[in-house]
Structure formats: structure tokens, C-alpha cells
Amino acid sequence: MSSPDAELAPLMARFARAGQLQWLGVRPERDVPMKVLDEVMAITGKGLVGDRYDKASGTRGVTLIQAEHLPAIASLSGHAVIDPARLRRNLVVTGISLVALKGRRFRIGNVLLEGTASCDPCARMEAELGPGGYNAMRGMGGLCARILEGGVIRRGDAVVALVDGRAAD
């Protein structure tokens, strides 16, 4: 009889499809608005050029949030819609589960990343979204990732999970 972990391993390596990068932005300094971009250079072992975490951020070189969570965050915080720039994440992706990329390598275009940790909301969400904004984002704050192989990331790039260095099914 196999263990539950052995039974789940093949399921955890299977993705219905590739995702897509919908939006990207950088924040040059703390407490300044996001700068929305069509493309950005990702630097190996560092971050995104022009972002405040571009020097040597290690596990937090890039922050990502799930596009599918934006309507839920808006609803829970009492807004009709949420501009992704208000949530202070670098990348908004759709079509692939970010939580499934935690601890896994994946590509956005030609850039190789590794999901390192949940990107929990900060107290700033109260100012951005109003009272309860922090709790509205809990569990939907996204993913932090480190950049293993840099390059240019472009809006519209595919987001592809890797298994043993190859695209997952």
C-alpha cells in the first residue's frame, strides 16, 4: 500500500494548462505608487530592474498574485474592482494556481523562477483597501519567488510549471 504523499505527488505535478502574465509593475521606493510596465528585466539572484527589491532580495525577488483572486479581494473589501497596482505585487497571473507553484520551479517566458513563500498581506492594505483590507487579502496575497535565470518578462508571457526541469503536463 502506498503512502498518501506518494499518491498525491503525481497530482501535484499535473497542471491543467499554462498560465499567462496579465499585468506587471515595479515600485522604485517604499510608499510610492507602482509603475505599470509592458516588460521588465529580471536579474538573476536579485529582482526586477526599477523595483525597490532589485538589489539582492533572495527569496523575494518577485511577488505574484492570482488574477482570479482580485474579484474576491474586491468583494471582501467592499470594492467593485481592484486596480492590481494597489495590491503592491509585481506580477498578476491567470490560469495557473500560484499556491501550487510554492516550492516549485516555473518559467514566465524565458525567465526561470522558484516559488519560495506565501506573499502575505501587510498592514498597508488597510490604507489601500480601507478597514478590513488586510483580512480581505488573507489567504490570497500571492507568492514570493526568487529569480534563478534572468531575462525579460513581458505582459502576455506564458507561466509554465516545471517538473524535473521540463514543462509539467
DSSP string, 45-74: TS-BTTSTTTTT-GGGSEEEEEGGGHHHHH
The CATH number assigned to the domain holding 107 equals 2.40.33.20
- Separation of alpha carbons 65 and 67, rounded Å: 6
pLDDT for position 34: 94
pLDDT-flagged residues of the chain (< 70): 1-4, 56-57, 169
pLDDT for position 12: 79
Q: Which residues contact 131 (CB under 8 A, 6 or more apart)?
A: none
Are the C-beta atoms of residues 149 and 112 closer than 8 Å to each other?
yes
- How many domains does the chain contain in total? 1
pLDDT for position 5: 73
Q: Which domain holds residue 144?
A: 4-167
First-last CA distance in the chain: 26
pLDDT for position 122: 87
- Separation of alpha carbons 106 and 116, rounded Å: 11
Alpha-helix runs per DSSP H in the chain: 4-12, 70-76, 124-129, 133-137
